[in-house]
């Protein structure tokens, strides 16, 4: 599974959203089921899957799915 | 469900898939069992979510009520919100260190004042709830802070935060000891277990207003779930163990008694001794032990006779050492003990055996104990199988009780006529009204009995107490002794009187499976009739609520001469005119000493 696929799976699992089309350009807050708690959950799951420690300041910068993917690519 | 979420907890999976797991579990067709209100001092939404997952896994459906954020005090004390109209069976008060503001303290006086304020606030909440709801309360204790003011002396210095928290916790524990139906959710233990550095988690607070690390939520809710399981008597009763590489290192049949690893001689042997010690402790809490091993019986017994084996032959109520499937052996053990398979835990180092038992008997808990003997204890402990809220002397005697039953079974073989056998048991019984002396045993029998249980009702402590205190209710218990030993308090019945109609309705009637087929139910019912007649009762109403497990009593009321009056999909109602009742002869005599 590629990083992109894994991130998409995490987003779908946590938001329980299995229908909406999610691309790298999707604004995260526009995804149905993505609220502040889901945000926290997704960060946790990404940290666990990619063995990362994401700083609090970084989290606010994740606006698009692509931002997450870029961060993961840079830090793994 | 095609995946495991506990035995032990699959935390990562739970955190990721919680929504879809819950959605699929909610499809189960279950009857509503009870209501839980959660009063939160911080976010409780996902505490509730995980709790619901665990309860549904155990086939328990619950209605939940959650207080508004941080309104636990207002709702409990001033009756804001809908707590009191919801009428919960259990109120869970989720307060943590975040709800205790500890400002810098300058004097002993200030410290005492603060402490009294905190204690007063708690006690006000509890007493309001208990007065108005008569329900069970679960209260968190308080975890330690990450940061200390006085360093090491924080716990001994009067003005230290840790010293203050210890005092508040002691107060909570004392309250729990004095008040039945009040239980502590030990987050002090949970936070130490996972480490304070991991527990206190600013991001979980800032992003979700959770008072501790969000990723520990499944552990937290599982702990809470275990308390609720214990309240409703759903914990495990039997621990079935493999022998080779489980109770000792090596294979007794190949290596011989002198070469198996147990005792103080080397680290591996010591680890197996430690494991046996742990099992011995579990036995002490009232769990009975059995063996299921692929071995010749002679070898199995030789291993247990090893001078360093802490567990001896007499510690086990059943030993199956043969070459049959383990699942078949466990079914045999369940039959011998007359206990449901869902009260069994099976421990085996061999993953193939675990899988065989799990596949054939999905009701049994078979933990993934790992490959290293040093992990076994930790993993079994994390599964919370044997949590216990109350404990009576009887619990320590349980192994003897079952062993005596096996002796009774041997005696039965000598007799051709069953009545002659019953006569030979020299049974004596005593029947009395509920009293405080036997409170714990009465409560635990009601909540543990699944088979001889006419209405499948469970009673919280407060309900047992109300039977004792309410003049319109009658509760009776029966004890039975015979020549092999004291079976203890083994049957209970409670019901209420309607003076206007001169009727008595049996709300609950249970009997321990230990004394099935001894005619104790008939002896007991004769005594019930005697007591009821004193209240000028003309009719007795009996209700049978069929469940998966109580088929054994489906015709109980017919046997006693009741006539079926009414039935729907849930209940069958029976009526008996007291004057029509004919005493049933049994081989049980009266004894006022037992």
Q: Is B278 on the interface with A (CB under 8 A)?
A: no
Confidence (pLDDT) at B170: 97
- The CA distance from A40 to the nearest CA of chain B, in Å, is 7
The 10s digit of each residue's pLDDT in B433-486 is: 999 989 988 998 998 888 899 999 989 888 999 999 999 999 999 999 988 888
Which of B488, B530, B532, B480 shows the shortest CA–CA distance to B506? B532
The 10s digit of each residue's pLDDT in B239-287 is: 999 999 999 999 999 899 999 999 998 999 999 999 999 999 999 988 9
Q: Which residues of A touch B45 (CB under 8 A)?
A: 37
CA–CA distance, B363 with B341 (Å, rounded to integer): 6
How many other CB atoms are found less than 10 A from the CB of residue B48? 21
Nearest C-alpha in B relative to A13 = B17
Length of chain A: 76
What's the mean pLDDT in A39-66? Answer: 86
Tell me whether strands B485-498 and B503-511 are parallel, antiparallel or unpaired: antiparallel
CB contact (8 A) between residue A40 and residue B45:
no
The 3-class secondary structure across B459-523, one letter per residue, is CCHHHHHHHHHCCCEEEEEEEEEECCEEEEEEEEEEEEEECCCCEEEEEEEEECHHHCCCCHHHH
Helices (H), B317-397: 326-337, 351-360, 373-382, 393-396
Q: Which residue has the higher pLDDT, B315 or B462?
A: B315
Q: Is A4 on the interface with B (CB under 8 A)?
A: no
Q: Best interface-test mutation with B: which of A9, A16, A31, A55 has the largest number of B CBs within 10 A?
A: A16
Q: Which helix (H) or strand (E) holds B453?
A: strand B452-453
What's the mean pLDDT in B530-558? Answer: 91
The dihedrals phi and psi of B358, each to the nearest 5 degrees, come to -60, -40
The 10s digit of each residue's pLDDT in B173-224 is: 999 999 988 999 999 999 999 999 999 998 899 888 999 999 999 999 999 9
Confidence (pLDDT) at B416: 72
What's the mean pLDDT in B101-112? Answer: 88
Strand-pairing partners, residue B289, are B239, B316
**pLDDT for B96 beyond 70:** yes
Return left, alpha or beta for B33; rule: phi > 0 is left, psi -120 to 50 is alpha, else beta: alpha
Nearest C-alpha in A relative to B45 = A37
Assess contact for B98 and B49: CB atoms under 8 A. no
- The CA distance from A74 to the nearest CA of chain B, in Å, is 22
Confidence (pLDDT) at B236: 93
Confidence (pLDDT) at B263: 93
Q: Is A40 on the interface with B (CB under 8 A)?
A: yes
- The CA distance from B20 to the nearest CA of chain A, in Å, is 7
Cα dist from B423 to B12, B411, B582, whole Å: 59, 12, 21
Q: Best interface-test mutation with A: which of B11, B12, B13, B16 has the largest number of A CBs within 10 A?
A: B16
Query: How is B546-593 classified by DSSP, letter by letter?
Result: --SS-GGGTTHHHHTT-EEEEE-SS-EEEEEEGGG--PPP-S-EE-S-
Residue from the list A36, A45, A56 with its beta carbon closest to the beta carbon of B15: A45
User: What integer best gives the mean pLDDT of chain B?
Assistant: 91
Which of B142, B189, B147 shows the shortest CA–CA distance to B167? B142
CB contact (8 A) between residue B19 and residue A14:
yes
Assess contact for B352 and B324: CB atoms under 8 A. no
Tell me whether strands B572-577 and B539-544 are parallel, antiparallel or unpaired: antiparallel
- The CA distance from B302 to the nearest CA of chain A, in Å, is 48
Q: Which residues of A touch B19 (CB under 8 A)?
A: 13-16
Q: Which helix (H) or strand (E) holds B209?
A: none
Tokens of A3: 């990083």
Q: Is A37 on the interface with B (CB under 8 A)?
A: yes
Cα dist from B467 to B470, B472, B544, whole Å: 6, 8, 20
Cα dist from B587 to B413, B419, B584, whole Å: 18, 8, 10
CA–CA distance, B511 with B507 (Å, rounded to integer): 14
Cα dist from B556 to A1, B483, B560, whole Å: 61, 27, 7
Q: Is B559 on the interface with A (CB under 8 A)?
A: no
The 10s digit of each residue's pLDDT in B342-382 is: 999 999 999 989 989 998 999 999 999 988 999 999 999 99
The 10s digit of each residue's pLDDT in B227-247 is: 999 888 888 999 999 999 999
Work out the percent of chain A whose per-residue pLDDT is above 90. Answer: 25
Confidence (pLDDT) at B392: 67
Nearest C-alpha in B relative to A54 = B203
Confidence (pLDDT) at B1: 46
Q: Which helix (H) or strand (E) holds B422?
A: helix B418-424
Q: Is B469 on the interface with A (CB under 8 A)?
A: no
How many other CB atoms are found less than 10 A from the CB of residue B404? 19
Assess contact for B573 and B543: CB atoms under 8 A. yes
Nearest C-alpha in A relative to B44 = A37
CA–CA distance, B130 with B76 (Å, rounded to integer): 10
Q: Supply the pTM of this predicted model.
A: 0.78
Nearest C-alpha in A relative to B204 = A40
What's the mean pLDDT in B106-116? Answer: 91
Q: Is B208 on the interface with A (CB under 8 A)?
A: yes
Q: Quote the distance between the C-alpha of residue B507 and its chain's center.
A: 22
Assess contact for B536 and B504: CB atoms under 8 A. no
Assess contact for B212 and B191: CB atoms under 8 A. yes
**pLDDT for B389 beyond 90:** no
Q: Best interface-test mutation with A: which of B14, B18, B19 has the largest number of A CBs within 10 A?
A: B19
Tokens of B31: 């009857």
What's the mean pLDDT in B314-336? Answer: 94
What's the mean pLDDT in B326-338? Answer: 92
For chain B, positions 26-65, list CB contacts with chain A under 8 A: 45-46
Q: Which residues of B touch A53 (CB under 8 A)?
A: none
The 3-class secondary structure across B5-49, one letter per residue, is CCCCCCHHHHHHHHHHHHHHHCCCCCCEEEEEEEEECCCCHHHHH
The 10s digit of each residue's pLDDT in B84-95 is: 999 999 999 999
CB contact (8 A) between residue B16 and residue A13:
yes
- Structure ipTM: 0.86
CA–CA distance, B557 with B564 (Å, rounded to integer): 8
Q: Which residues of B touch A16 (CB under 8 A)?
A: 19-20, 23
CA–CA distance, B594 with B586 (Å, rounded to integer): 18
Q: Best interface-test mutation with B: which of A6, A36, A40 has the largest number of B CBs within 10 A?
A: A40
User: What integer best gives the mean pLDDT of chain A?
Assistant: 88
Tell me whether strands B539-544 and B473-482 are parallel, antiparallel or unpaired: unpaired
Which of B94, B93, B88, B84 shows the shortest CA–CA distance to B32? B88
Confidence (pLDDT) at B265: 87
- The CA distance from B202 to the nearest CA of chain A, in Å, is 9
Q: Best interface-test mutation with B: which of A10, A34, A37 has the largest number of B CBs within 10 A?
A: A37
């Amino acid at each position: 599974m590629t990083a992109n696929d894994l991130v998409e799976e995490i987003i779908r699992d946590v938001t329980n959203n299995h229908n909406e089309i999610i691309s790298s350009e999707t604004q995260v807050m526009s995804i149905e089921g993505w609220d502040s708690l889901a945000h926290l959950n997704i960060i946790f799951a990404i940290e666990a899957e990619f063995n990362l420690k994401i700083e609090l300041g970084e989290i606010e910068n994740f606006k698009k799915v692509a931002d997450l993917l870029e961060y993961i690519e840079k830090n793994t | 469900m095609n995946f495991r979420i506990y035995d032990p907890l699959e935390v990562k999976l739970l955190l990721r898939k919680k929504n879809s797991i819950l959605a699929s579990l909610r499809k189960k067709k279950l009857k509503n069992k009870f209501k839980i209100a959660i009063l939160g001092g911080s976010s409780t939404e996902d505490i509730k979510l995980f709790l619901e997952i665990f309860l549904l896994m155990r086939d328990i459906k619950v209605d939940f009520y959650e207080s508004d954020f941080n309104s636990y005090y207002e709702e409990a004390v001033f009756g804001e919100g809908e707590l009191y109209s919801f009428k919960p069976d259990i109120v869970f008060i989720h307060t943590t260190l975040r709800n205790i503001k500890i400002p810098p303290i300058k004097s002993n006086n200030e410290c005492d004042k603060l402490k009294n304020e905190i204690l007063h606030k708690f006690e006000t909440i509890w007493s309001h709830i208990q007065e108005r709801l008569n329900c069970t309360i679960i209260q968190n204790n308080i975890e330690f802070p990450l940061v200390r003011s006085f360093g090491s002396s924080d716990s001994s210095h009067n003005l230290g935060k840790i010293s203050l928290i210890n005092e508040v916790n002691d107060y909570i524990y004392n309250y729990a000891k004095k008040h039945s139906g009040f239980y502590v959710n030990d987050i002090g233990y949970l936070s130490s277990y996972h480490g304070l550095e991991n527990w206190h988690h600013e991001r979980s607070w800032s992003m979700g207003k959770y008072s501790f690390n969000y990723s520990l939520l499944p552990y937290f809710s599982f702990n809470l779930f275990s308390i609720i399981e214990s309240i409703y008597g759903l914990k495990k009763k039997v621990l079935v163990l493999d022998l080779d590489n489980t109770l000792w290192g090596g294979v007794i049949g190949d290596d011989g008694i002198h070469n198996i690893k147990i005792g103080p001689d080397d680290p591996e042997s010591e680890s197996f001794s430690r494991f046996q010690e742990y099992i011995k402790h579990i036995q002490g809490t009232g769990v009975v032990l059995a063996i299921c091993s692929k071995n010749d019986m002679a070898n199995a017994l030789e291993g247990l006779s090893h001078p360093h084996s802490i567990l001896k032959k007499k510690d086990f109520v059943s030993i199956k050492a043969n070459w049959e499937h383990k699942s078949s052996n466990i079914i045999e053990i369940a039959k011998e003990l007359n206990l449901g398979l869902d009260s069994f835990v099976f421990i085996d180092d061999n993953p193939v055996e675990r899988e065989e038992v799990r596949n054939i008997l999905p009701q049994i808990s078979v933990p993934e104990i790992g490959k290293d003997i040093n992990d076994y204890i930790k993993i079994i402990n994390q599964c919370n199988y044997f949590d216990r809220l109350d404990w009576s002397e009887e619990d320590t005697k349980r192994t003897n009780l079952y062993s005596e039953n096996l002796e009774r079974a041997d005696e039965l073989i000598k007799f051709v006529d069953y009545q002659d056998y019953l006569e030979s048991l020299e049974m004596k019984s005593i029947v009395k009204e509920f009293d405080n002396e036997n409170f714990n045993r009465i409560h635990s029998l009601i909540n543990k009995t699944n088979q001889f249980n006419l209405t499948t009702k469970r009673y919280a402590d407060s309900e047992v107490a109300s039977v004792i205190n309410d003049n319109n209710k009658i509760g009776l218990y029966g004890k039975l002794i015979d020549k092999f030993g004291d079976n203890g308090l083994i049957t209970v019945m409670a019901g209420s009187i309607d003076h206007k109609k001169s009727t008595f309705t049996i709300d609950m009637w249970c009997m321990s499976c230990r004394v099935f087929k001894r005619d104790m139910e008939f002896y007991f019912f004769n005594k019930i009739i005697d007591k009821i007649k004193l209240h000028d009762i003309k009719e007795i109403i009996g209700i049978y609520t069929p469940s998966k497990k109580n088929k054994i009593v489906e015709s109980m009321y017919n046997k006693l001469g009741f006539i079926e009056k009414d039935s729907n999909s849930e209940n069958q109602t029976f009526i008996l005119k007291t004057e029509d009742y004919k005493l049933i002869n049994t081989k049980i005599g009266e004894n006022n000493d037992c």
